Amino acid sequence: MAEANTVQEEDQNTGGQEVVLASRYRILVESPLPNLDLGNARAYVVRDDKSPKEPLFARICPADAVPRLDIFNNLKHMIDANLLRPVECEVVAWPGSVGRRVAIVFRKPDHGVLLPLSEAKINPLQPDELAKTLLGPAVLTLGYMAQRGLSHRAIRADNIYWHGGGRSSILLGDCLSHVPAFLQPVLYETIESGMTPPIGRGVGTIRDDFYSLGVTVLAMAQGCLPLSNYTDEQIIDAKLARGSFAALMNGERPPFGLRELLRGLLSDDPYERWGLEQLEQWLGGGLRSSVQEVRTGAVERSYEFDGKDYTNCRALADAFGRNWAKAGNTILDSGFEKWLRRGVADLSLADRLRKTLSIGGLPDKNKGLDARKVAQACMVMDRHGPVRYQGLIAMPMAMGLMLTDAFFKKDTKAIKRIADSISSGTVSDWYTLQGGAETIIYEAEINQLKQMQHLLKHTAPGYGIERCLYMLNPTYPCLSEILHGHYIQNIRDLMPALEKNVEINGSLPTIVDRHLAAFIACRIKANIDKPLAVLDSAQGDTTAIRLGMLGIFARLQAKYGPDHLPCLTQWLAKELESTVDRVNSKSMRDQMRSRVQSLGSTGSLVDLHNCLNNDKIIRQDESSRKKAVKEFSTAAREISQLESREFQESAQRLGWRIASGISTSISIVTIAFVAMS
């Protein structure tokens, strides 16, 4: 998604500012729609230049939001689905805000929501009305989403709109502007999701949506929210103690004709919970079988931990996760094992826990359990619950969202904790302990985790936790400070943004940036292992690192363009001119320096890279260097020999012998000459 070509101008009709999307949708900045706000996403009137009468509005996502842009196109083209369908989405420069924001344009709903937050009670709907106006359209829409492998994760009575004349149908509300389940009250969430912080709930599955739909049906049938005077903690405790169905009924009789439906939708076992098939049968009048209520994690007697008595294994696992250091000693205590064997309804739990903790060797009771072992124990006690590691609580599918939140807040401790949970194999343990069927379902996620474990072993740019951030969040923008606030989500927009920054500022703060390298490595559809290997092996060699980054930039320009990047190329040519000094031959060095200077004005990073990384020239220079070194060594040895004492004495003796020979020859010649006279 490219940045929008936004403008802010005076509207002659409204006298206010506008922000334009896709050259047609005008967001009227001074015309807010507070009744359509969603969380921190503010709503504004939108006018379409091509269809002025079309009722539209836009939501402006908050700065820290991670909109679900990966499912935008799917929802946009679900024409027959009953949902608040998005029309357009772009990044805008929003007046009065720092940085850029995501703006999503929707068609206005015909009416308000089913149960506004401002109203404690409404007229309840009868079963026939519920089936026709709410359940039928919702099942149809969730069916469309399930076919595409999507989940809604924002189904609740205050995010479903009445639709059509006479309020004959509904529209499921916005599920794009916030992370999955972020705005969901604990009431609407399953037990495991309710125990997890909103940012860590993840996309879940369509089974989570059916649970939320069940709570919505109950609320509309009663005309009010169940357990409205309960705190979040009390709601979780009630669900754990009695099961969701009994807890939400809170002693009341189920609405007439809805008992089986509610039991099916509110089952705490996701595999027993009703899905599309059962709902379609119920709507057709053909299903009357009831799901039996199961209290998962039930115990016959309580267990005291950290000053509180726990009557459910799942609740105790949650407490262990929040105080893992103390839990490490508690789990190894003999009294805890006795309690598991005598006080827990699941008789196999103690054996499964012992077997899990024994993998890799029996733990040392004197040292207690490490964080990974505590996390594994929590997984055994609460199979469907979140990953609980050193205070980190998140569903495994939400690790990417947890990372975005940690990077946005610059929370280095949280970033390290998430990295450790992945590299230690703790997150992978969650999938393993789910069982064979789940392991097959989550095969792609398991393989991705293995890849990230490998990446976390490397500390060079292009690897590490930054690479994991962009792997886990395919639509997340690059966080590199080099970009100076540009919202770069599409790799094609990266080089033009860098060119613009150099044009304005004259330079980039640095050539190498961990976020920039990781973003490119994740988004580029090309093999950049070689330049990344250069960065990995550079070991502080500035020249090698710069050349490696130039190689990555050159590949980006070659694959995505633009062909002409004059400012960036000229700046890089100047920055990298010193790399010419690695050439040994003076004549070759001068020739290459002249070539680099001339390439600065061409705008081609590809040519600049080829010049500075010309293997033929490097090999030729290295060959000449070796030859010169060899010749120099030979000459040096000869000089050394000539200057040595042994050579001087040998030469002197040789001179004496020669002189003696010459003297003898002269004497012989002289005697012969005298005799002849």
CA distance linking residue 542 with residue 87, whole number of Å: 48
| CA 616 to chain CA centroid, nearest Å | 41
The residues pairing with 107 across neighbouring beta strands, listed in sequence order, are: 56
Q: pLDDT confidence of 367, banded at 50, 70, 90? A: low
Element spanning 105, H or E:
strand 101-107
State the Cα–Cα distance between residues 454 and 43, nearest whole angstrom: 43
* pLDDT surpasses 60 at 621: no
pLDDT at 632 over 60: yes
| Dihedral angle sign, alpha carbons of residues 129, 133, 137, 138 | negative
**470 and 463 in contact (C-beta within 8 Å)?**
no
3-state DSSP call for residue 292? coil
- The model's confidence at residue 640, banded by pLDDT at 50, 70 and 90, is confident
Give the span between the Cα atoms of 237 and 85, in whole angstroms. Answer: 37
Q: Which residue has the higher pLDDT, 85 or 544?
A: 85
* The most confident of 161-170, 505-514, 539-548, by mean pLDDT: 161-170
Cis-peptide, bond into residue 67, ω within 30° of zero: no
pLDDT tens, position by position, 327-339 = 999 998 888 988 8
300 φ, ψ (degrees, to nearest 5): -90, -25
Stronger pLDDT, 149 or 346, i.e. the higher one: 149
Rounded CA separation 608/570 (Å): 10
Residue 242 DSSP code: H
55-59, 247-251, 262-266, 597-601: segment of lowest average pLDDT: 597-601
Q: Specify the DSSP class assigned to residue 119.
A: -
Categorize the per-residue pLDDT at 194 as very low, low, confident or very high, splitting at 50, 70 and 90. very high
**DSSP 3-state of 189:** coil
Model confidence at 6: pLDDT above 50: no
Mean pLDDT of 629-648: 69
Q: What is the pLDDT of residue 111?
A: 94
Q: Which residues contact 590 (CB under 8 A, 6 or more apart)?
A: none
Residue 141 φ/ψ, nearest 5 degrees: -70, -45
Residue 617 exposed, middle or buried by CB count within 10 Å (0-12, 13-18, 19+): middle
CB 448 within 8 A of CB 471: yes
Q: What is the pLDDT of residue 363?
A: 62
Phi, psi of 428, deg, nearest 5? -65, -35
307, HSE (Cβ side, Cα atoms, 13 Å): 1
User: Quick check: 66 and 52 in contact, CB under 8 A?
Assistant: no
Task: Provide the pLDDT for residue 13.
Answer: 43
Element (H, E) at 342: helix 334-343
pLDDT exceeds 90 at position 633: no
625 band by pLDDT with thresholds 50, 70 and 90: low
Q: Tell me, what amino acid is at 357? A: L
How far from 453 is each of 428, 470, 488, CA to CA, in Å? 10, 14, 26
Provide DSSP, 32-56: E-GGG-BTTBEEEEEEESS-TTS-E
Whether the pLDDT of residue 166 is over 60: the answer is yes
- Asked whether the predicted pLDDT for residue 10 surpasses 60, the reply is no
pLDDT surpassing 90 at residue 199: yes
Strands 42-48 and 169-172, sheet pairing: unpaired
Segment 88-117, tens digit of pLDDT:
999 999 998 877 899 999 999 999 999 998
What does the chain come to in residues?
677
Q: Tokens for 265?
A: 């939708």
Decide: 244 and 267 in contact? Cβ < 8 Å.
yes
How distant is the alpha carbon of residue 501 from its chain centre? 26
655 has a pLDDT exceeding 90: no
pLDDT at residue 565 in the model: 94
> Of 57-71, 517-531, 656-670, which gets the smallest average pLDDT?
656-670
Predicted pLDDT of residue 228: 93
What does the alpha-carbon distance between residue 188 and residue 335 come to, in Å, rounded to a whole number? Answer: 37
Least confident of 69-83, 414-428, 517-531: 517-531
Average pLDDT over residues 192-208: 95
- 86 bridge partner residues: 106
Q: What is the pLDDT of residues 230-264, one digit of tens each?
A: 999 999 999 998 999 999 999 999 988 899 999 99
Give the separation between CA 70 and CA 57, rounded to whole angstroms.
Answer: 21
Most confident of 170-184, 247-261, 543-557: 170-184
638 has pLDDT over 80 = no
**Structure-token pair, residue 229:** 């005077």
3-state class (DSSP) for residue 80: coil
**Res 15: pLDDT:** 47
Share of the chain above pLDDT 70, in %: 89
Q: Would you place residue 225 in the very low, low, confident or very high pLDDT band (cuts 50, 70, 90)?
A: very high
Specify the pLDDT at position 14: 40
Alpha-helical runs (H) found in 250-294: 259-265, 276-283
Please choose, from the candidates 341, 319, 339, 331, the residue with its C-alpha nearest in 3D space to the C-alpha of residue 367.
331
**pLDDT the model gives residue 276:** 94
Query: Which residue, among 21, 17, 29, has the nearest Cα to 4 in the 3D structure?
Result: 21
Q: What is the pLDDT of residues 117-165, one digit of tens each?
A: 888 899 999 999 999 999 999 999 999 999 999 999 999 999 999 999 8
Convert 327-356 to b/e letters by CB count within 10 Å (16 or more is b).
Answer: bbebbbeeebeebbeeebeeeebbeebeeb
Q: What does the pLDDT average to over 464-480?
A: 94
Q: Are 469 and 504 in contact (CB under 8 A)?
A: no
Amino acid identity of 364? D
Average pLDDT, the chain: 87
**Per-residue confidence (pLDDT) for residue 119, from 0 to 100:** 87
Q: Can you list the alpha helix ranges (DSSP code H) found in 104-231?
A: 127-129, 136-147, 191-194, 206-222
Give strand ranges (E) for 213-306: 298-305
Reported as a single tens digit per residue, the pLDDT across 529-540 is: 778 887 777 666
